[in-house]
């Protein structure tokens, strides 16, 4: 737990220098949410940071599908804790967009896409 909190502090400092690290910061908040038995402030902060990262990522950027999938994961985690169906809808919306963005490429092996974008 102490290591996750330290990682969050370091990433918060990094975000001031590189907004692209917002997705990683969101992932750390998501991990802490899982370790602390569901502190809603953490998962809400994860979602805010991941949404901001997506807004700042240009269309066509190679990281965008993974960022959308990470955001999907955070929405599903919050749904599992609260039962709010809006979170499931948001998870589906982000996953659909991630899949659409990856359909054009043949360079990514199908097994990698399926394992990375598996719907829970």
Is residue 80 very low, low, confident or very high in pLDDT (cuts 50, 70, 90)? very high
Choose the weakest-confidence range: 13-17, 31-35, 37-41, 69-73.
13-17
What phi-psi label fits residue 57: left (phi over 0), alpha (psi between -120 and 50 degrees) or beta? beta
Q: What is the DSSP letter of 42?
A: H
Domain boundaries, the chain: 2-116
Note the CATH architecture for domain 2-116: Alpha Horseshoe (1.25)
Q: How many DSSP H helices and E strands does the chain contain?
A: 6, 0
pTM: 0.75
> Which of 67, 64, 76 has the alpha carbon at shortest distance from 119?
76
Q: What percent of the chain has pLDDT over 90?
A: 52
Report the run of H or E that residue 41 belongs to, with start and end.
helix 40-56
Q: Give the pLDDT confidence score for residue 107 in this predicted structure.
A: 57
- Whether the per-residue pLDDT at 106 is higher than 70: the answer is no
How long a stretch of residues is the chain?
120
Report the run of H or E that residue 10 belongs to, with start and end.
helix 2-17
d(CA 61, CA 57): 7
């Amino acid at each position: 737990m102490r290591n996750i909190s330290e990682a969050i502090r370091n990433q918060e400092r990094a975000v001031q220098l590189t907004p692209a690290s917002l997705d990683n910061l969101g992932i750390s908040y998501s991990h802490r949410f899982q370790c602390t038995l569901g502190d809603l402030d953490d998962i809400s902060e994860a979602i805010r940071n991941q949404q901001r990262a997506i807004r700042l990522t240009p269309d066509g950027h190679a990281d965008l599908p993974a960022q959308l999938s990470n955001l999907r994961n955070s929405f599903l985690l919050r749904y599992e804790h609260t039962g709010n169906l809006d979170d499931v809808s948001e998870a589906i919306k982000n996953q659909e967009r991630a899949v659409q963005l990856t359909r054009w490429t043949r360079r990514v092996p199908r097994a990698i896409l399926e394992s990375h974008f598996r719907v829970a």
